[in-house]
């Protein structure tokens, strides 16, 4: 065993590796002496500890099948780090799996971002490989990366493979919802629905439709924060492990060259990500997440500019729920590069990526497959405009969102009578009641399901079609809420209404029988009630108990309720956002 050449010499100007961020005992030399004594208990040599240290986040959990391949990814990343001359050190952060988080995974996203940021800051890492996948995890990690500004690279866990049932391909979770709708309508019986249940998610990995996980993996790659091609490789393919190995090598380079997220996650990079969000028919949730990540970097996502972009950039990717294919097919079709090649006129091609090349260089180096048919051309798109539209109106003065590419087109211009549910509990209690006064052309309204109201802004915006209408064959209705919805869902669904009803937003003033007008073409959502009546209702409005009983709250829930922001600010905690730096996401043309 040899003595490390500068151990223990006390503080240095730009400490790296094991000497970074010493624990404070009032004697830096002793701090390093102690740190090395303890890490040697794990068998490390001075030679190993003199290398650049690459932290690797272990976000696996037995409650998180979306991250079920994390142990293999970690091993592959470690190999890559060693090949690059670095020292890999794995550390845990919290793990969030969509359907195992009460009240919602969104409620925990900011906690994961704080956990990840603080562990990155606290531990002696020169760079970090962020292993994320399930919906809220990559957003939380990118938020942390932007705030800590320590060199980082993301490797997604990757999409799961598709299942099959009676000759039909199944995808989580578009088909989870579709078959549950059939079950509710009596088209599928109890035995068959549970057979399907065992086939919907046949491998580990993230949902393989264009849900939030796929959307965030693809937009992260577009932003330059993960390696080219890494978003679409299926979770169980050997190629995912080779991509993980390459990610480890890149992480060493990022450490050596001190390439920080702030040089990658620029306003241009966010603009590229937003362009891709439209073109892939991506999840509505991604707009909230990208807004939150950008805000951590001081950059404002301009909702009007995003909407204007959506009027030009068509949906090109033919994946469910907007289209017909799944992520494994997008991978076979060349992955994100095939989309980027088509989008070149709208992209900032000079934006830098983690492997040191510009996005334009990445696209030019990728190979086109002229036989693929999953990614359409601009001349012959899946949908003529971008997937998402930003709405405003007297019902949503600060904005609302609709995924019009995956909605019944006839409902995008619609005026109907409001059928109001005051809360999630009220919805659960009455939606299937035979006595519910509801018709197919009514507008279902859900209140108190926003960031604070639920709390945690659950994916409840996909209100079920009332059973008695479902039994008559009704498949879609206009539905409005301050909630979110799964990126895997289909319908004429207006989401993220802001300000939310629990904080006094106009959604809280809607009454049964009011007329509501959705005019997607004009980007309007309006309550057709006169201003004087709305003023009377506002004066009589009482906040829900969750907003009045704050003194009864404690811990993370109190912190969350007091500081979570609205959708247009990314639902981050207000105290986590730095001053805006005056930059907004620029549009190329
Ligand atoms: Fe984890 Fe869909 S539930 S990605």
With residue 415 as reference, give the H or E element that holds it.
strand 413-421
Pick from 498, 499, 492, 500: nearest CA to 518: 492
Report domain 51-161+203-363's class.
Answer: alpha beta
Res. 1: pLDDT tops 70: no
Ligand 1 pocket: which of 135, 220, 327 to mutate (most atoms <8 Å of CB)?
A: 135
Q: Is 217 in the pocket of ligand 1 (CB under 6 A)?
A: no
Residue nearest to atom 3 of ligand 1 (CA): 98
pLDDT in the model for residue 564: 97
pLDDT in tens, 545-577: 888 888 888 999 999 999 999 999 999 999 999
Cα(277) to centroid(ligand 1), Å? 18
* CATH superfamily label, 399-548: IlvD/EDD C-terminal domain-like (3.50.30.80)
Nearest in space to 188 (alpha carbons), one of 173, 198, 178, 202? 178
Q: How far is the CA of 213 from the centre of ligand 1 (A)?
A: 6
What does pTM read for this prediction? 0.95
Q: Is the peptide bond before 105 cis (omega within 30 degrees of 0)?
A: no
pLDDT of residue 448: 96
The answer to whether the 51-161+203-363 and 399-548 domains have the same CATH topology is no
Looking at every residue in the chain, the average pLDDT score rounds to 94
Question: What's the confidence (pLDDT) of residue 14?
Answer: 82
Which residue owns the Cα nearest ligand 1 atom 1? 134
At 136-181, the pLDDT tens digits run: 999 999 999 999 999 999 999 999 999 999 999 998 888 898 899 8
| CA–CA dist 94, 91 (Å, integer) | 10
Return the pLDDT at 513.
98
More confident residue, 263 or 177: 263
Confidence of residue 6 (pLDDT cuts 50, 70, 90): very low
Confidence of residue 518 (pLDDT cuts 50, 70, 90): very high
When pLDDT is averaged across residues 245-257 and rounded to a whole number, the result is 98
pLDDT reported for residue 578: 86
Question: What pLDDT is attached to residue 8?
Answer: 46
CB 68 within 8 Å of CB 204: yes
Q: Which atom of ligand 1 is nearest to the CA of 135?
A: 4
98 lines ligand 1 (CB under 6 A): yes
Q: Give, in degrees to the nearest 5, the angle at Cα 209 between 184 and 498.
A: 75
The mean pLDDT of 223-245, rounded to a whole number, is 98
Q: Residue 239 — pLDDT band, cuts 50, 70, 90?
A: very high
Dist. CA 211 → ligand 1 center (Å)? 8
Strand, coil or helix: 478? strand
Q: Residue 446 and residue 250: Cα distance in Å, rounded? A: 46
Strand partners, 300: 584
| Gap from CA of 138 to ligand 1 centroid (Å) | 12
574 secondary structure, DSSP code: G
Look at residue 486 in the predicted model and tell me its pLDDT: 83
Residue minimizing CA distance to atom 2 of ligand 1: 207
206 lines ligand 1 (CB under 6 A): yes
Q: Quote the pLDDT of residue 588.
A: 58
**In this model, does residue 5 exceed pLDDT 50?**
no
pLDDT of the residue at 587: 62
Determine the length of the chain.
Answer: 589
Between the CA of 97 and the centroid of ligand 1 the distance, in Å, is: 7
Is the pLDDT score of 3 beyond 50? no
Could you give the CA distance from residue 50 to residue 188 in angstroms, rounded to a whole number?
62
pLDDT at 586: 67
Q: Which is the closest atom of ligand 1 to the Cα of 213?
A: 4
Please, where are the H alpha helices in 280-405?
Answer: 285-296, 303-310, 327-332, 336-343, 359-365
Ranges of each domain in the chain: 14-42, 51-161+203-363, 163-197, 399-548
pLDDT confidence of residue 459? 92
**What mean pLDDT is predicted for residues 5-30?**
78
Q: Does residue 341 surpass a pLDDT of 70?
A: yes
Which atom of ligand 1 lies at the shortest distance from residue 207's CA?
2
Please tell me the distance from the alpha carbon of residue 68 to that of residue 90, in angstroms, as a whole number.
16
Residue with tokens 């409840």: 460
* Site to substitute for ligand 1 among 211, 216, 218, 220, most atoms within 8 A of C-beta: 211
Distance CA 299, CA 223 (A): 14
Residue 66 Cβ < 6 Å to ligand 1: yes
CB neighbours of residue 232 within 10 Å = 29
- Across 473-509, b (16+ Cβ under 10 Å) vs e yields ebebbbbbbbbbbbbbbbbbbbbbbbbbbbbebbbbb
Per-residue pLDDT band for 10 (boundaries 50, 70, 90) equals very low
| Percent of the chain residues past pLDDT 90, beyond the cut | 89
The average pLDDT across 337-354 equals 97
Per residue in 357-367, pLDDT tens?
A: 999 999 999 99
- pLDDT band for position 46 (cuts 50, 70, 90): very high
DSSP state of 571: T
Q: How many Cα atoms are found within 13 Å in the side-chain-facing hemisphere of 174? A: 26
Atom of ligand 1 nearest to the CA of 98: 3
User: Does the beta carbon of 205 lie inside 6 Å of ligand 1?
Assistant: no
The 10s digit of each residue's pLDDT in 414-458 is: 999 999 999 999 999 999 999 999 999 999 999 999 999 999 999
Spatial distance between the Cα atoms of 142 and 113, rounded to a whole number of angstroms: 8
- The atom of ligand 1 lying closest to the CA of 206 is 4
Residue-wise pLDDT for 59-77, tens only, equals 999 999 999 999 999 999 9
Inform me whether the pLDDT recorded for 264 exceeds 50: yes
Q: What is the 3-state secondary structure (H, E, C) of 407-437?
A: CCHHHHEEEEEEEEECCHHHHHHHCCCCCCC
Q: What is the mean pLDDT of residues 3-30?
A: 76
Residue 392 in this model has a pLDDT that exceeds 90: yes
Atom of ligand 1 nearest to the CA of 212: 4
pLDDT at 173: 84
């Amino acid at each position: 065993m040899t003595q490390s050449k500068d151990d223990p010499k006390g503080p240095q100007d730009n400490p790296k590796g094991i000497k970074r961020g010493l624990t404070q005992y009032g004697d830096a030399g002793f701090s390093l002496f102690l740190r090395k004594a303890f890490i040697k208990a794990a068998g490390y040599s001075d030679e190993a500890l003199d290398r650049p240290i690459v932290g690797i986040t272990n976000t696996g959990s037995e409650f998180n099948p979306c991250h079920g391949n994390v142990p293999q990814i970690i091993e592959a990343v470690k190999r890559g780090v060693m090949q690059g001359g670095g020292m890999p050190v794995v550390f845990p952060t919290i793990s969030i799996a969509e359907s195992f988080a009460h009240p919602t995974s969104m409620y925990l996203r900011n906690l994961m971002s704080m956990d990840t940021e603080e562990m990155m800051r606290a531990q002696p890492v020169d760079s970090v490989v962020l292993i994320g996948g399930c919906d809220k995890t990559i957003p939380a990690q990118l938020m942390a990366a932007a705030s800590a500004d320590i060199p980082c690279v993301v490797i997604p866990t990757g999409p799961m493979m598709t299942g099959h049932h009676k000759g039909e391909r199944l995808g989580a979770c578009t088909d989870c919802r579709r078959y549950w709708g059939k079950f509710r309508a009596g088209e599928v019986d109890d035995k068959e629905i549970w057979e399907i249940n065992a086939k919907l998610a046949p491998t580990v990995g993230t949902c393989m439709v264009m849900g939030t996980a796929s959307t965030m993996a693809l937009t992260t790659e577009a932003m330059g924060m993960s390696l080219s091609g890494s978003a679409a490789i299926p979770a169980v393919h050997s190629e995912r492990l080779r991509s993980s190995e390459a990610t480890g090598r890149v992480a060493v380079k990022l450490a050596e060259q001190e390439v920080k997220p702030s040089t990658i996650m620029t306003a241009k990079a966010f603009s590229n990500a937003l362009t891709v969000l439209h073109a892939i028919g991506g999840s509505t949730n991604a707009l909230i997440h990208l807004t939150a990540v950008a805000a951590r970097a001081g950059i404002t996502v301009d909702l009007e500019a995003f909407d204007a972009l959506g009027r030009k950039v068509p949906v090109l990717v033919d994946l469910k729920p907007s289209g017909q294919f799944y992520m494994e097919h997008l991978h076979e079709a060349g992955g994100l590069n095939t989309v980027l090649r088509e989008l070149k006129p709208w992209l900032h091609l000079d934006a830098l990526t983690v492997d040191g090349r510009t996005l334009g260089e990445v696209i030019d180096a990728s190979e086109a497959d002229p036989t693929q048919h999953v990614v359409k051309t601009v001349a012959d798109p899946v949908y003529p405009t971008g997937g998402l539209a930003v709405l405003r109106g007297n019902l949503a003065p600060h904005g609302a969102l609709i995924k019009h590419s995956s909605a019944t087109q006839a409902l995008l211009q619609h005026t109907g009578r409001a059928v109001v549910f005051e809360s999630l509990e009220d919805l659960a209690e009455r939606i299937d009641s035979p006595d519910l006064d509801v018709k197919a052309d009514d507008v279902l309204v859900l209140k108190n399901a926003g960031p604070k109201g639920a709390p945690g802004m659950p994916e409840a915006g996909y209100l079920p079609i009332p059973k008695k209408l479902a039994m008559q064959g009704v498949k879609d209705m206009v539905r409005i809420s301050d909630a979110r919805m799964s990126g895997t869902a289909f319908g004429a669904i207006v989401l993220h209404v802001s300000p939310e009803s629990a904080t006094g937003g106009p959604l809280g003033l809607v009454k049964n029988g009011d007329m509501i007008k959705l005019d997607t073409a004009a980007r309007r959502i309006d309550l057709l009630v006169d201003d004087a009546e709305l003023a009377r209702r506002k004066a009589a409005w009482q906040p829900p108990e969750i907003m009045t009983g704050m003194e009864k709250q404690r811990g993370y829930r109190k912190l969350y309720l007091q500081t979570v922001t609205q959708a247009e600010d990314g639902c981050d905690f207000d105290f986590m956002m730095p001053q805006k730096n005056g930059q907004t996401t620029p549009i190329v043309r």
